[in-house]
Structure 1
Amino acid sequence: MLRKLYAWTLSLAGRKAAEAWLALIAFVESSVFLVPADVLFLPMALARPERAYRYAFVATAASVAGGIAGWMLGYYAYEAVAKPVLEFYGKLEAFEQLKSHVTEGQLNLLLVTSGLAHLPPIKIVTILAGVAHIKLWHFVLSAIVARGFRFYLLAFLLRRYGEPIQAFVEKRLGLILGAVAVGLIVLYVAYHLLAG
């Protein structure tokens, strides 16, 4: 099922309404969808590099708006809506464990790492931020910084290097951003171990 969903999402890049689809995919990715918006963003930015930054803006704005929707699901409708969604994706048990052990500082870190590298998936963190009653303005600011950095970095790389960088972006950029996210987590843990 995931492979078909991925292929379908990729097929949207060639449509006239690709930009609207990008906004929709970026929006729902942040709260309920499995396939990241990058799948659509990459071929669109490669096909029209002069619009790469525009696409980055669309993806960032829609992703932040979707994150707000996820936050609201967690804040206002966890039992009725968010819990069944998490259960559908098989993430409920992991979410419940995370919810019972996460501190506000750890959640702030997760907002950044999920926005940069999907560690953990952004939909988990947006819902968790709502459940934990993280201030909405704080949530929105961190989402703009993390998601904006990711999409604008992709736009910069694709505009500057074009198609030759596509394989690097698809295969290694996620690993590099994942390594940055893990590094941030290690620094956070080390700081708290030394301070405490």
Structure 2
Amino acid sequence: MLRRLYDWTLSLAARKGAEVWLAVIAFIESSVFLVPADVLFLPMALARPERAYRYALIATVASVAGGIAGWMLGYYAFDALAVPILQFYGKLEAFERLRVAWGDSVLLLLITSGLAHLPPIKVVTILSGAVKVDLWLFVISAIAARGARFFALAWALKRWGEPIRHFIENRLGQIAGLAAAAIIVLYVAVRAFA
């Protein structure tokens, strides 16, 4: 099922309304959808490199708006809506572990999730609302993290084109994961020695 969903999302890049689909996928990815917007963003930016930054802006704005929707799910409707969504994706247990371990430091998770999908962005946006992270602080963090991701991808695709696509598809998760791990280690070290 996941492969079919991935292939369907990828096929949207060739459609006339690809920008609208990019916004829709980026929005729902941040609150309830399993496939990352990168699946649509990458082929769109490669096909029209002169629009890469435009696509990055669309993806960032829609992703932040979707993050706000996820935050609202966690803040206003955790039991009624968020729990069933998390159960559907098999993420409720992971969510509860994150809530216990990172409740007061959820903004760090928002940064690592926005950059590297570690943990999945939808889980962190819902968690941010559930633990009552200030909405404005949440929005600023989401803009910084998601914007950095999409604009860095746009820059790389404009600079190196098709050859970088394979690198991004095969290695971006690992590189972003290492960067996220470094941020977490730095944060833990600062808290331990502060």
TM-score (norm 1): 0.97
Q: Which residue of 1 aligns with 2:41?
A: 41
Cα deviation, residue 97, structure 1: 2.1
Q: Give % identity.
A: 70
Cα deviation, residue 108, structure 1: 1.4
Q: Which residue of 2 aligns with 1:185?
A: 184
Cα deviation, residue 172, structure 1: 1.3
Which letter does structure 1 place at the counterpart of 2:128?
A
Cα deviation, residue 175, structure 1: 1.3
1:32-56 deviation digits (Å, cap 9, x = unpaired): 0000000000000000000000000
Which letter does structure 2 place at the counterpart of 1:188?
Y
Runs of 4+ that moved beyond 4 A = none
Alpha-carbon distance in 2 for matches of 1:53, 1:101: 36
Q: Which residue of 2 aligns with 1:175?
A: 174
Q: Which residue of 2 aligns with 1:161?
A: 160
Which letter does structure 1 place at the counterpart of 2:86?
L
Alpha-carbon distance in 2 for matches of 1:44, 1:84: 33
**After the TM superposition, which residues 1-196 of structure 1 pair with which residues of structure 2 at under 5 Å, given as runs?**
1-104=1-104, 106-195=105-194
Alpha-carbon distance in 2 for matches of 1:68, 1:33: 14
Which letter does structure 1 place at the counterpart of 2:56?
A
Cα deviation, residue 190, structure 1: 1.3
Q: Unaligned regions of 5+ residues in structure 1, if any?
A: none
Q: Unaligned regions of 5+ residues in structure 2, if any?
A: none
Alpha-carbon distance in 1 for matches of 2:98, 2:141: 19
Cα deviation, residue 102, structure 1: 2.0
Which letter does structure 1 place at the counterpart of 2:94?
A
Cα deviation, residue 103, structure 1: 3.5
Matched pairs, number: 194
Alpha-carbon distance in 2 for matches of 1:94, 1:25: 23
Q: Could you say what secondary structure the match of 2:60 adopts?
A: helix
Alpha-carbon distance in 1 for matches of 2:4, 2:103: 37
Alpha-carbon distance in 2 for matches of 1:98, 1:50: 40
